Amino acid sequence: MINNVKEIPIEGITYKELNIEKKPLSKEYTPPPEELVPAANRAVCIDPSRTCMPFGAMWATLGVHRGIPFVQGAQGCTTYVRYTFARVFREPTLIANASFHEDAAVFGGRKNLIRGIRNLVCRYQPELISIVTTCSSEVIGDDIQSFLDEALEVMEEEMGPDIYDAVKFVIVNTPSFAGSHVEGYNRAAREFLKTLAKKTGQSEDLYFIPGMMMPGDIRELKHMFELMDVPYKILFDISDTLDCPLTGMPQMVPYYPPGGTRVEDFVRAGNAKGIFALSPDAGGAGAKWLEKRFKVPAFVIPMPIGVKNTDRMIKTIAEISGRGIPDSLRWERGILLDAMADTLHYTMGKRVAICGDPDFVAAATGFVCELGMIPTYILPGSKTKTALQTIKDVCAEYDVEPTVFVDSDQFEWEYALKNDKPDVILGHSRCVNISKEIKVPLVRFGFPVYDRVGYQREPIVGYRGGERFLARIINAILDQYFPDDRVQQ
Ligand code: SF4
């Protein structure tokens, strides 16, 4: 029966009928056939390079000490997320779910939230719960604030008035049809600061919102800040929650990892000397809100990948803190420059296609240009407010003209790669298929990398991270393009 069903045609406007901005600029590019409908004009998205919005808000919450996301939706909205966390970080994660069924879809999730929050508080004694909405709760129109007020009244009766101080609640609205995981993190950054931050004085602390960096990247940031001797706080710090030994088990139940940003650090954020968003699309909204509300200077800058981006971060920190740049950091920078000079003959002129989250892609474009490589096809997987301009500026500086796929999907990006093969692909684990199909080496970076182990601990930010990232790129080139006996020549 099913074999008799005819293939559903993908309706849309063809390239020929379009006046599109994403014109292929590379001279070697072969235009796609007319029947290929660009993603922006298709009724379907084929192989999106992103995941859903609540995921980003859950990621941010897991970087808070004793923080648990409570997902107001069906169990499926957390199942894939837990699975992804387990694959990428190889760690268990505590994520609660309102367990929507048919009745919640009709009557709303009031009952689910009140009971769910009460159970979560009783059993897990968290310090913070983020209430993360989903497509279904947003479409139904759940009034989360009033549900929460009711839940607090119920808990007050049962547990006493201390409940108001014992647990903090942050509501993050994340209807997935309005954005991707990147926007979910961005919204969480804003809502956490909006709900928790206060101004009670002035401190010397510099605050950092890293965005969706890996634990190894956050550790590298800490290493640099410590060399600079600046007082700092990292918000949503997953380095010791999503990558840590299981200490205290089995006695410590419920189990919480020792790390994560303390709730009081969010509260004191209004006193900060400055706040940095190191991934403009994932965290920029939080930094800007803090600046607007408490006049804390906000620095929304590209991810510190590569020499120029890292220089920019370090110089800005040095200026704000007045601490100067230590020789040890200059030394690390020198080692990266030396490594780049030593291997320039491998990278110079190599054509590279890049795919990933906008902040990663924008920063990596700068780095590959610093290595003398030529970016050809770039896919920022999510909608972006800043990455396109960053890419444009880099391309103008290095006089390169890649095709940037805006509002697109991997299907369209891969089609371009099949027509005009690059020498190297920089991308996440979902780029494996195209890499194998066109026999071009894939250098894994960004999110998600789930088909290799240890990548979450290996930094790509900062000078030392840049050196590691460079080694990954060079080794991929050596494996593919240099016969074993000539590698050392
Ligand atoms: S897209 Fe919507 S319904 Fe699907 S998992 Fe994400 S939040 Fe849930």
List of E strands, 210-350: 232-234, 274-277, 298-300
Q: Which of 135, 172, 394, 461 is catalytic?
A: 135
List of E strands, 368-470: 374-380, 403-404, 424-427, 442-444
| Residues in CB range of 211: below 8 A, 6 or more apart | 185, 277, 278, 279, 281, 282, 283, 303, 359
Is 43:12 a contact under the CB 8 Å cutoff? yes
Catalytic annotation present for 135: yes
Q: Which of 44, 122, 139, 253 is catalytic?
A: 139
Q: Tell me how crowded residue 217 is: count the other CB atoms within 10 A of its CB.
A: 26
Ligand 1 neighbour 52 (Cβ under 6 A): yes
Nearest alpha carbon, ligand 1 atom 4: 77
Which is the CATH superfamily of the domain at 331-486? Nitrogenase molybdenum iron protein domain (3.40.50.1980)
Mark out the alpha helices in 20-128 (DSSP H runs): 53-61, 76-89, 102-107, 110-124
> What is the Å distance from ligand 1's center to 52 Cα?
6
Q: Does the pLDDT of residue 7 top 80, yes or no? A: no
Whole-number average pLDDT of the chain:
92
Q: What is the DSSP string of 290-345?
A: HHHHH---EEE-----SHHHHHHHHHHHHHHH-----HHHHHHHHHHHHHHHHTHH
Ligand 1 neighbour 81 (Cβ under 6 A): no
| Residues in CB range of 316: below 8 A, 6 or more apart | 276, 299, 301
Ligand 1 neighbour 77 (Cβ under 6 A): yes
Say if domain 206-325 classifies as CATH 3.50.50.60: no
Q: Does the pLDDT of residue 29 top 80, yes or no? A: no
> What is the Å distance from ligand 1's center to 72 Cα?
11
How wide is the angle at C-alpha 438 spanned by C-alphas 435 and 443, nearest 5°? 25
Q: Does the pLDDT of residue 249 top 70, yes or no? A: no
Ligand 1 neighbour 71 (Cβ under 6 A): no
| Residues in CB range of 144: below 8 A, 6 or more apart | 72, 113, 131, 133, 137, 171, 173
Amino acid type, 392: K
Residue 49: which H helix or E strand, with range? none
| Tens digit of each residue's pLDDT (9 = 90 or more) over 123-169 | 999 999 999 999 999 999 999 999 999 999 999 999 999 999 999 99
Q: Does the pLDDT of residue 254 top 80, yes or no? A: yes
Nearest alpha carbon, ligand 1 atom 5: 77
The tokens describing 93, both together, are: 């994660």
Candidate of 53, 58, 77, 78 to mutate for ligand 1, largest count of ligand atoms within 8 Å of Cβ: 77
Strand partners of residue 426: 354, 443
The tokens describing 67, both together, are: 């923080």
Ligand 1 neighbour 76 (Cβ under 6 A): yes
Q: Does the pLDDT of residue 444 top 50, yes or no? A: yes
Query: In the predicted model, what is the mean pLDDT of residues 380-408?
Result: 93
Candidate of 176, 177, 181, 183 to mutate for ligand 1, largest count of ligand atoms within 8 Å of Cβ: 176
Nearest alpha carbon, ligand 1 atom 2: 135
Distance between CA atoms of 203 and 112, rounded to whole angstroms? 41
Catalytic annotation present for 244: no
The pLDDT > 70 percentage for the chain reads 91
Of 138, 128, 125, 119, the C-alpha closest to 72 is 138
> What is the Å distance from ligand 1's center to 428 Cα?
21
- Judged by average pLDDT, the poorest of 45-49, 132-136, 274-278, 341-345 is 45-49
Ligand 1 neighbour 184 (Cβ under 6 A): no
Nearest alpha carbon, ligand 1 atom 3: 135
Q: Using pLDDT thresholds of 50, 70 and 90, give the confidence band for residue 487.
A: low
> What class has domain 53-195?
alpha beta
> What is the Å distance from ligand 1's center to 250 Cα?
34
> What is the Å distance from ligand 1's center to 134 Cα?
6
Query: How confident is the model at residue 484, as a pLDDT?
Result: 72
| Residues in CB range of 281: below 8 A, 6 or more apart | 182, 183, 186, 211, 357, 358, 359, 382, 384, 385, 386, 387
| Boundaries of every domain in the chain | 53-195, 206-325, 331-486
Q: Does the pLDDT of residue 6 top 90, yes or no? A: no
- Ligand 1 atom closest to the Cα of residue 80 is 5
Query: How confident is the model at residue 178, as a pLDDT?
Result: 92
User: Would you call 33 exposed, middle or buried from its count of C-beta atoms within 10 A (0-12, 13-18, 19+)?
Assistant: exposed
Query: In the predicted model, what is the mean pLDDT of residues 384-396?
Result: 94
CA end-to-end span of the chain:
62
